């Protein structure tokens, strides 16, 4: 276990109010560490899901009481708005599909929260993520580079949403439930009588009440962003096919909700917010071998151009063999284009288990027909 490399430690657990972080705190206590729990208050608006609701804070407090540890609440609402909510809105305005959970991990959980823990004198931060951090032993027996690995439960693996982390964070975190299956986590919580034992997992964007459906997103974005109707055009001929009510809500690869019946499977292959236009094409128009990436980060040393990797473009998506290029990755076989704004995680080619880094997909240059006169 990673934590054994540091002996007994002062541990700050990020208690989200869910079962995974509850069991992570329990395991830290059982290992004999000095444990304190803290819940981040991230969102001051309406919320009914995720780690931003009032009930989640209360559940975290009840878990802390059950475990006999102190519990605090850190107010990061301004920082959350700056680093997560505002970029979420701006991404839609630019025609990108943002990934707010990854940005929350990048800026809040494993930056601001971690830095506060260090300032308060804690040795480690513990979270309930289903992933693992291991150390490669050096020749002298000391711990070397911290490596981020997939969790043992493939159904719940969360290494993808942690793929933005670097050594500064990985050296200071412990992910105890990464060695367990979800069923084992719930069984441990039930055995200890934790109130979160049967609590459902959160599946939606935590700061959007009602989930992440187009209707819920529209309700959230309308007060913050001017939405515009967009013309739907045929990518082969440029013929106008219809109108979408809000071009900012369309995602590359989207098939449903475009208000067009063509008699064949057509997808959004380009979203041009500035031009108020959505271009449709068939599946072949979505296929690509080269994925351009911005904001590339590495979990350890940078990966050299030409290195074989496997890539994953969603939290529980399939992996695709590729190699690292100057601008991103080149896939060994064409696959559907990654929506601009989405994170692409890179794993080692041999085991597809060790996270090497990640980047954000960049829109491809338009190559389709102009709108017909």
Q: Which residues are catalytic?
A: 104, 206
Which residues touch 220 (CB under 8 Å, ≥6 apart)?
207, 208, 209
Q: Tokens standing for 156?
A: 């719940």
DSSP 344: E
d(CA 281, CA 270): 9
Given a contact cutoff of 8 angstroms between Cβ atoms, the answer to whether 125 and 118 are in contact is no
- Cα dist from 291 to 102, 138, 332, whole Å: 19, 35, 11
Q: For residue 278, count other CB atoms closer than 10 A to its CB.
A: 28
Given a contact cutoff of 8 angstroms between Cβ atoms, the answer to whether 294 and 94 are in contact is no
Alpha helices in 193-232 (DSSP H): 214-221
Of 181, 206, 204, 364, residue with least CA distance to 290 = 364
d(CA 287, CA 8): 51
Stated as kind and residue range, the H or E segment containing 41 is strand 34-41
d(CA 88, CA 355): 25
Given a contact cutoff of 8 angstroms between Cβ atoms, the answer to whether 64 and 88 are in contact is no
Given a contact cutoff of 8 angstroms between Cβ atoms, the answer to whether 361 and 317 are in contact is no
């Amino acid at each position: 276990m990673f934590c054994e490399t540091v002996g007994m430690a002062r541990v700050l657990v990020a208690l989200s109010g869910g079962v995974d972080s509850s069991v992570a705190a329990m395991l830290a206590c059982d290992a004999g560490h000095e444990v304190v729990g803290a819940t981040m208050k991230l969102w001051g608006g309406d919320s009914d899901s995720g780690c931003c609701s009032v009930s989640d804070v209360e559940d975290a407090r009840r878990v802390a009481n059950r475990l006999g540890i102190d519990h605090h609440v850190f107010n990061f609402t301004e920082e959350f708005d700056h680093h997560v909510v505002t970029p979420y809105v701006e991404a839609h305005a630019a025609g990108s599909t943002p990934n707010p959970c990854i940005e929350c991990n990048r800026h809040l959980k494993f930056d601001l929260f971690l830095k506060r823990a260090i300032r308060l004198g804690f040795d480690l931060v513990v979270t309930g993520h289903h992933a693992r951090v291991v150390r490669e032993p050096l020749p002298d027996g000391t711990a070397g580079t911290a490596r981020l690995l997939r969790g043992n439960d493939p159904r719940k693996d969360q290494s993808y949403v942690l793929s933005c982390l670097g050594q500064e964070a990985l050296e200071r975190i412990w992910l105890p439930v990464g060695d367990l299956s979800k069923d084992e986590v719930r069984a441990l919580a039930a055995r200890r009588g934790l109130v979160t034992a049967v609590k459902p997992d959160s599946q939606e964007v935590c700061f959007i009440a009602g989930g992440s459906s187009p209707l819920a997103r529209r309700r959230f974005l309308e007060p913050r962003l001017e939405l515009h109707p967009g013309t739907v055009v045929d990518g082969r001929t440029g013929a106008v096919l219809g109108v979408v009510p809000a071009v900012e809500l369309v995602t590359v690869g989207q098939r449903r909700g475009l208000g067009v019946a063509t008699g064949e499977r057509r997808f959004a292959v380009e979203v041009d917010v500035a031009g108020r236009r959505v271009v449709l094409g068939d599946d072949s128009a979505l296929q690509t071998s080269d994925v351009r990436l911005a904001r590339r980060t590495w979990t350890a040393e940078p990966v050299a151009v030409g290195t074989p990797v496997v890539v994953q473009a969603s939290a529980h998506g399939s992996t695709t063999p590729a190699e690292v290029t100057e601008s991103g990755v080149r896939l060994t076989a064409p696959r559907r284009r990654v929506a601009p704004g989405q994170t692409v995680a890179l794993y080692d080619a041999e085991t597809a288990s060790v996270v090497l880094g990640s980047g954000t997909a960049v829109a491809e240059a338009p190559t389709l027909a102009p709108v017909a006169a």
